[in-house]
Amino acid sequence: IERMDKAGADYMHLDVMDGHFVPNLTFGAPVIKAVRKYTDKPFDVHLMISNPLDYAEDFAKAGADIICFHSECDSDTEETINKILSLGKKAGLAIKPATPIDEVVKYLDKLSMVLVMTVEPGFGGQSFMESTMPKVEAIRKINPDIDIEVDGGINAETIKIAAKAGANVFVAGSAVFKSENPAETIAILRKNAQDAQ
Q: Which residues are catalytic?
A: 15, 151
Nearer to Zn ion, 109 or 167 (CB): 167
Helical H segments across 93-173, by residue range: 102-105, 133-142, 158-165
Asked if residues 101 and 138 have their Cβ atoms less than 8 Å apart, the reply is yes
Binding positions for Zn ion, 156-175, rule CB under 5 A: none
Q: Closest by alpha carbon to 51, among 24, 29, 21?
A: 21
Stretch that binds Zn ion, among 81-89, 95-103, 147-155, 177-185 (CB under 5 A): 147-155
CA–CA separation, 156 and 190 (whole Å): 9
Q: Which one, 98 or 195, has the nearer CB to Zn ion?
A: 98
**Which residue, 18 or 151, is less far from Zn ion as judged by CB?**
151
Chain residues 1-30 in contact with Zn ion, contact rule CB under 5 A: 15
CB 45 within 8 A of CB 32: yes
Longest C-alpha distance within the chain, in Å? Answer: 43
CB of 15 to Zn ion, least distance (A): 4
Write the binding mask 93 to 132 for Zn ion: x where contact by CB under 5 A, - elsewhere: ----------------------------------------
Distance of closest approach, residue 96 Cβ to Zn ion, in angstroms: 12
> Which residue has the closest beta carbon to Zn ion?
46
DSSP 3-state of 150: strand
E-strand ranges in 99-146 read: 113-117
Nearest-angstrom CA–CA distance, 142 and 100? 14
Closest approach of Zn ion to the CB of residue 13, in Å: 6
Closest to Zn ion by CB, 93 vs 109, is 93
Provide the Cα torsion 72, 152, 42, 113; round to 10°: -50
Mode of pairing for the β-strands spanning 90-95 and 113-117: parallel
Residue (46 or 96) nearer to Zn ion, CB: 46
Which of 17, 46, 89, 119 forms a contact with Zn ion (CB under 5 A)? 46
Q: Quick check: 151 binds Zn ion (CB under 5 A)?
A: yes
Q: How many residues bind Zn ion (CB under 5 A)?
A: 3
Would you tell me which residues interact with Zn ion (CB under 5 A)?
15, 46, 151
